Amino acid sequence: MSEAELLWVEKYRPRTLSEVVNQKEVVERLKLFVKERNIPHLLFAGPPGTGKTTVAHALAHDLYGEDYAMHMLELNASDERGIDTIRNKVKEFARSRTAPHVPFKIVLLDESDNMTSDAQQALRRLMELYTGSTRFILIANYPSKIIDPLQSRCAFFRFVALSKEDVVGRLSYIAEREGVRYEEEALDAIYEISEGDMRKAINVFQAAASLGRVTVDSVYRVVGLAKPREVREMIESALSGNFEEARNALRKLMIEYGLSGEDVVKQIHREVFSSDLKIPEEQRVLIADYIGEIHFRMVEGSDEEIQLSALLAWLSLLGKRARR
């Protein structure tokens, strides 16, 4: 496969710890381990798309060099999550002899919060037996799903969502090297959609670039979301007492954009707390509370259009009471 055919996520991800951004505290601590040529068992936790797996590979690269893959076993625990994988693949790799110039091997268990309880119990024993020759790196979006005995055996590293400057800066860097034309507002829109998830941001940018120049319109088109302005106008219509107008706007969003009820509720929730929507603080609190009720009803199986119409009707009544 040529370089041009590679996914941008793989092509532009950092290869060494020095290239990693926005995780300064994590990187500085790991660099000390690299300097000492020794690491404990590690647990990387945090939101998706924040660089946990990339940092693990960068750490191995800095320890072993370009051929680091020879000294690392990588497993995705969401696919290979059972006790047989731990007893067979992991145990065989952990007990194998290391090369003379390599102090230890690395077992990388991605999405380890999806491992079964039995597999986690088996892993705790392996971590004790083969500490001299093998280090384990566990990666989890939800560390609470990792049993306490495993957490206590690991040094904990908390990853945070990437900042707007880092996401937009990286997208600009990719655009420059790929020759992609874009609007600055489009990169801001991608950040708002990705919520600090760099992997999602790059994938959205790549999808929008396939349509030509990356614009705000093309970004929302490829992710299947309504423009925030349209959602905001729908809320304002309801609050001003124009229920029919708001309901027509709702039907337009659901039909033209193909949005589900949950998608609409989430966008309404986001816009309610946006600085662009000028409503009193007390109204925001009441609306947020009722949005939660409507979302719960839909999750439980209620008809989406009926519940969203009820939400708009409630907003209309709230707006009329506020104007008295």
pLDDT tens digits for range 130-141: 888 889 999 999
Tell me, yes or no, whether 64 and 153 share the same domain: yes
Tell me, yes or no, whether 175 and 309 share the same domain: no
- pLDDT confidence of 248, banded at 50, 70, 90? very high
Tell me, yes or no, whether 216 and 267 share the same domain: no
Residue where a domain terminates, one of 180, 208, 223: 223
For residues 1-24, average pLDDT: 72
Q: What is the pLDDT of residue 116?
A: 81
Tell me, yes or no, whether 16 and 144 share the same domain: yes
Question: Among 6-20, 54-68, 150-164, 221-235, whose mean pLDDT is lowest?
Answer: 6-20
Per-residue pLDDT tens over the stretch 272-320: 888 777 888 888 899 999 999 999 999 999 999 999 999 999 999 988 8
Tell me, yes or no, whether 49 and 117 share the same domain: yes
Q: What is the pLDDT of residue 77?
A: 61
Residue where a domain terminates, one of 127, 158, 189: 158
pTM of the model: 0.79
CB 126 within 8 A of CB 94: yes
Q: Report the domain count for the chain.
A: 3
For residues 99-110, average pLDDT: 83
Domain range for 30 is 3-158
CA distances from 121 to 117, 124, 150, 212, 216 (A): 6, 5, 8, 51, 48
Tell me, yes or no, whether 150 and 170 share the same domain: no
Q: Is it the case that residue 4 has pLDDT exceeding 70? A: no
